[in-house]
Structure 1
């Protein structure tokens, strides 16, 4: 079985095959992780996302779905997988939609032959999901991915604070029975 890691840090500085963007449905950038990834990747990412919006995603990316783009100026990364978490403040309260963000991102990364991935706390923060719920769903998805033949070797959850990393580390220990 591969490694599941919990770290505090900046996802744009990870050296992995894929980073996951906690995007908004427009795919055109925003705040938090989304804004940081767009700034780090440069204007080519915005151009590719605009092309996606004008062709295959005219209504935006629905919550739980995932789509891949190039990583452009983020040189240590091959792809960016964008996913949209459900917004609890907007009445999107089904945890299965949030779980799909993680499972769909992992499946898409595997289809790209990724061996390593960095994932943020999708849905935590401005979308109103608590870290305990997000961590539980994310760790479950990671463990399921690693049980798959040819699954991703290294899954890193990159959190923005020590407190968040501590919650996620506890969730990992709980799922691993330690």
Structure 2
């Protein structure tokens, strides 16, 4: 049975198979989690993202989609990039947010990742309420793990105690109560 947990910390220090980057659609770095991951990974990550833009993702990565690269200097093996919906520009459909988590898990399964760390996708500068992100993320991850079984460990690595409390509350809610 898979384990889902939540911790306060820095996602760039997670020694798991993969970490998820809350990327912007350009895949070329940005602020927040995206900037921290690119800074910690070093130039190899940016180079892989540039190759994606030159080949399979010429127009960038769509909202709710996910794609994988190597992890450069990070302790993880892979970085799975996903683009969360931005509430400030009217992207308010919870299905778009859920897709970030389900697509990231699908990509993790494709590469064989057995452990994966997520940030609170869209809860930062993209304006989504952390408690809503937590509910959608936990529900989506539970459903995916029930249906597919892998990865064996999914960890939410949160940037603040408030976000951690939101994810702990969502995890404490029984799966059939949501």
Q: Tell me the equivalent position of 2:160.
A: 161
Residue segments in structure 2 that go unaligned for 5+ positions in a row: none
Say if 1:139 and 1:175, in contact at 8 Å, map to a contact too: no
Q: In 2, Cα distance between the equivalents of 1:110 and 1:29?
A: 24
State the 1:148 CA deviation. 2.9
Q: In 1, Cα distance between the equivalents of 2:88 and 2:104?
A: 23
State the 1:125 CA deviation. 1.3
Q: In 1, Cα distance between the equivalents of 2:148 and 2:103?
A: 16
Task: Return the TM-score normalized by structure 1.
Answer: 0.96
Residue segments in structure 1 that go unaligned for 5+ positions in a row: none
Q: In 1, Cα distance between the equivalents of 2:147 and 2:93?
A: 25
Q: Tell me the equivalent position of 2:29.
A: 29
Q: How many residues align?
A: 177
Q: Tell me the equivalent position of 1:123.
A: 122
Q: Give matches, 1:101-116, under 5 Å.
A: 101-116=100-115
State the 1:156 CA deviation. 0.2
State the 1:70 CA deviation. 0.3
| Structure 1 ranges of 4+ moved more than 2 A | 175-178
Say if 1:29 and 1:38, in contact at 8 Å, map to a contact too: yes
State the 1:175 CA deviation. 3.3
SS at match of 1:148: helix
SS at match of 1:127: coil
SS at match of 1:156: strand
Task: Return the TM-score normalized by structure 2.
Answer: 0.96
